[in-house]
Structure 1
Amino acid sequence: MPAVSFAPYRRALRSRPLRTALVLGTLVRMPVFASTVLLTIHVVSGLGRSYTAAGVLSAAATVAIAVSGPWRGRLLDRYGLRRVVLPSILVALVCWSIAPFVGYYLLLGLAVLAGLFVIPTFSITRQAVIAAVGEGERRTAISLDAVAVELSFIVAPAVAVWAATVWDTSWVLFWIQMLGVGAGILMYVVDPPLRGEGEAVVGTARASSRTWFRLPFLAVCLAATATTVVLAGSDIAIIAVMRDLAAEGQIGVVLAVWGLGSLIGGLLYGALHRPISAFWLLAGLAAATFPMALASSTLQLAAFGFVAGLLCAPTITATIDQASRIVPAQVRGEAMGWHGSFMTTGGAIGAPLAGLAIDQRGPGAGFVVVAAVGVGVAALGLTAVSVRRATASAT
């Protein structure tokens, strides 16, 4: 294990642009995480529809967001932040001023439209974070962003669920989305730089996709997909195990402990002197997920989840770091958009895959099947890297 030092965090956090990017990213992401769970509550409780209907809405919105990632990222590279964010703000303002107060099918259509024009939050934030620091602090800065994501993931849904128990879900959904619009306006006003010193500015000649959209980049994106397969499947499996233990009231505790492990792991990874391959981290994450299938109590599941969580944020951070170094700076927006779409796709695959295994073999099978996917992709990636190195050394 490489040596750990927190000095890189002190150096990175001296950068005011980095601090600004992290705050903006957190403000824009929180409404996104909050609305994900809130839409399900609104469809089931507010509209009186089934969980299947809620799942269809969630899947449709997820697909729309995944589709939007690469082309919105390409527009970022070509036109810059403000010309991309402004239409997103206007579409979100119109769609979410109407969607919370209409029936299911119109809500579905408006959610898909809003998803297609969603602010490319992850692409913008990651580019701004990378641009704010030098090469030596890049991994540390991305780790800080991953920690900010974990905090948003832990806090925002909990606040949304609480608000939905106090007020009408339509108005809670409306105000959360308006907070997202407000955060988008703030991002438009601040307009953080997306290129670092010495990198090509936005709007310069683009590198051909044939020069970077190749096997090394796709392999890293596949590792990102497998990571979210493991995480989304584990999320469903945790809920299934807790229901099987008749401890539904402690689901939030277990998820919070899992998230805490990820937060700590992200901080530690950013403090390492040397990076670790995303494929090795994915293999470790998958291997640490297997024991969760053996948990027979809430305490055991939380403990196993904490250990697995230690590798969640580092694995995601490693895929972002490696992807950003593979591609030229002038196409980083599109590349981060593709990376985000691969991650979104993994999340869409992991939940139903784990659900099918749970229905067939019981709660523990959910962990086993998604962990097996992670191990398989990690093995393929490590093999490909070994073959590539052997070929390069032979020539």
Structure 2
Amino acid sequence: MFAVLLLPGALRAFIPALIGRSALAMCGLALLFAVEQSTGSYTQAGFATAVFGIANVIAAPWRARGVDRFGQRIVLNAMATAQAVGYAALALLSGAEGVAAGWFLVLSAVVGLTTPPLGAAMRTIWASLTTTEGDRTKAFSVDAVCEELLFVGGPVVITAIIVATSPGTGLWVTAVAVTIGTVAMTSSASSGALRGTRGGAAREDRPLNQPGFARVLVVLLGVGGVLGVAEIAAPAVAAEHDAVTVAGWLLAAFAGGSALGGLVYGQMKFTSGLGPRLFALCLSMGFAAVLASQMDTLGLFAAGLAVVGLFVSPSLITGYLVADTIVPERSRTEGSTWINTSLNLGASLASAGAGIVIDRSGAWLALFLGGVIVLALAPAVPFARLREGLRGDPLSAG
């Protein structure tokens, strides 16, 4: 599977892209601790991180549309520069006294709105470097696994930096990571070759106008829902067992399962189409979540979360393959970004709902309902034949 890294130009773009994407894995904690240190309020810190997340999700499709239209080098570098300036301003404010809390919200919105879509951009590069669905599946699998590992290691690294120095330093490190990673990636030949369409994509080329694409997004809302519930339920279960320190290990088991699932998925050869594949993955995830919700010991619950995690990366990879296959090339970055947006939206909504359910009935019910929801949404997978002639008929069986 990792042989795709040897494709001409792959590593030159991929390594910097990972450095740049590490900023997203680190910024949440850096922002949280910086605002809390300055205001003395976790409520204000929570508002700031929420504003960042909402701004990031809302702007995602339009940022990607800009990349498709004007090219990676121009748009990504502009976004990275603006975001780095925002992080720097937050770092300076966090060390000042008497700063109004509203400024942190404004700057949190700025860094959220200007987040460069490096993941979607890198997947567009992968699509340009590969010629078969098998190679593209391997490339997207390697990408997903490495990104999963970033979000495991990123919070650990930035926490260590913050503890050793200050939250403001954490924000400076985040600013440097996104700047260096983005500039280095866009200076590669494979990224520079994607110069954009220089004109807006026709309405019929938009991802949401492709037959079946919106239904795939609905399915992935459920996948994101399970992800969001798991991230809230794991600490809650640890607290219920008076073992708060185990929460990190529970989340690590979930992330580890996802990384393993991505590795295995990238090695498999499929005869079925993407539609049946996505349907089977969602059913498996739903049943695994329902079963995990019934595990009454920490060891069994960790194992259950790992099994649920096995289906996260493969579901996301399949979504990327759908976007790459049915969305016209001129809107490819936007299509990949919509996949992420759907997953993140589902996770955000589920996180909020899970907190309410957990307070009233316990973590088991939240995870159970998450599994039921993904099972209920799985039949939305479009099995009917899609518009012919674009790049085949990926969602129908065989």
- Under TM normalisation by the shorter chain, which class is it? 0.7 to 0.9
- For residue 286 of structure 2, what is the aligned residue in structure 1? 286
- Is the 1:100–1:107 contact (alpha carbons within 8 Å) kept by the matching residues of 2? no
* Separation (CA, whole Å) in 2 of partners of 1:157 and 1:33: 6
SS in 2 for 1:56: helix
Residue 359 (structure 1) shift: 1.4
Residue 184 (structure 1) shift: 1.9
Gaps of 5+ in 2: 94-98, 388-395
Moved more, 247-256 or 148-157: 247-256
Normalized against structure 1, the TM-score is what? Answer: 0.88
- For residue 174 of structure 1, what is the aligned residue in structure 2? 172
Change (3 A) 1:367 1:10: closer
Gaps of 5+ in 1: 1-8
Instruction: Decide which of 208, 217, 228 is 1:213's aligned counterpart.
Output: 208
SS in 1 for 2:190: coil
- For residue 134 of structure 1, what is the aligned residue in structure 2? 131
Instruction: Decide which of 175, 195, 202 is 2:196's aligned counterpart.
Output: 202
Residue 56 (structure 1) shift: 2.2
Q: What does 1:6-155 correspond to in 2, within 5 Å?
A: 9=1, 11-50=3-42, 52-102=43-93, 103=99, 104-136=101-133, 137-155=135-153
* Separation (CA, whole Å) in 1 of partners of 2:326 and 2:386: 15
SS in 2 for 1:281: helix
* Separation (CA, whole Å) in 1 of partners of 2:8 and 2:377: 38
Residue 148 (structure 1) shift: 0.8
* Separation (CA, whole Å) in 2 of partners of 1:91 and 1:378: 39
Q: What does 1:255-294 correspond to in 2, within 5 Å?
A: 255-274=251-270, 277-294=277-294
Residue 206 (structure 1) shift: 5.8
Instruction: Decide which of 216, 220, 226 is 1:224's aligned counterpart.
Output: 220
Q: Deviations over 1:315-351 (max 9, x none)?
A: 1111111121111111112222322222221222121
Report % sequence identity: 23
- Is the 2:230–2:305 contact (alpha carbons within 8 Å) kept by the matching residues of 1? no
Q: Deviations over 1:234-272 (max 9, x none)?
A: 110011101111111111112112211111110111111
Change (3 A) 1:206 1:175: closer
- For residue 339 of structure 2, what is the aligned residue in structure 1? 339
- For residue 244 of structure 2, what is the aligned residue in structure 1? 248
Residue 135 (structure 1) shift: 2.1
* Separation (CA, whole Å) in 2 of partners of 1:365 and 1:162: 34
SS in 2 for 1:385: coil
Moved more, 182-191 or 130-139: 182-191
- For residue 96 of structure 2, what is the aligned residue in structure 1? none
* Separation (CA, whole Å) in 2 of partners of 1:17 and 1:371: 41
Residue 82 (structure 1) shift: 1.3
Computed over aligned residues only, the root mean square deviation of the Cα atoms, in angstroms, reads 2.4
- For residue 390 of structure 2, what is the aligned residue in structure 1? none
* Separation (CA, whole Å) in 2 of partners of 1:339 and 1:164: 32
* Separation (CA, whole Å) in 2 of partners of 1:246 and 1:18: 47
Amino acid corresponding to residue 91 of structure 1 in structure 2: A
SS in 2 for 1:213: helix
Residue 371 (structure 1) shift: 1.6
* Separation (CA, whole Å) in 2 of partners of 1:293 and 1:46: 39
* Separation (CA, whole Å) in 2 of partners of 1:286 and 1:302: 16
Q: Deviations over 1:335-387 (max 9, x none)?
A: 22322222221222121011111112112122112222211111233xx5269
- Is the 2:16–2:180 contact (alpha carbons within 8 Å) kept by the matching residues of 1? no
* Separation (CA, whole Å) in 1 of partners of 2:192 and 2:339: 17
Question: What is the number of residues matched between the two proteins?
Answer: 376
Moved more, 121-130 or 176-185: 176-185
Structure 1 segments, 4+ long, off by >6 Å, are none
- For residue 5 of structure 1, what is the aligned residue in structure 2? none
Moved more, 355-364 or 101-110: 101-110
Residue 11 (structure 1) shift: 4.6
* Separation (CA, whole Å) in 1 of partners of 2:172 and 2:337: 27
SS in 2 for 1:72: helix
Residue 22 (structure 1) shift: 2.8
1:307 aligns with 2:304: no
Residue 108 (structure 1) shift: 1.3
- Is the 2:185–2:191 contact (alpha carbons within 8 Å) kept by the matching residues of 1? no
Residue 45 (structure 1) shift: 4.5
Amino acid corresponding to residue 178 of structure 1 in structure 2: V
SS in 2 for 1:294: coil
Q: What does 1:343-382 correspond to in 2, within 5 Å?
A: 343-381=343-381
- Is the 1:261–1:308 contact (alpha carbons within 8 Å) kept by the matching residues of 2? yes
Amino acid corresponding to residue 124 of structure 2 in structure 1: Q
Residue 81 (structure 1) shift: 0.8
Residue 10 (structure 1) shift: 5.4
Instruction: Decide which of 153, 163, 166 is 1:165's aligned counterpart.
Output: 163
* Separation (CA, whole Å) in 2 of partners of 1:35 and 1:333: 23
- For residue 233 of structure 2, what is the aligned residue in structure 1? 237
Change (3 A) 1:254 1:365: same
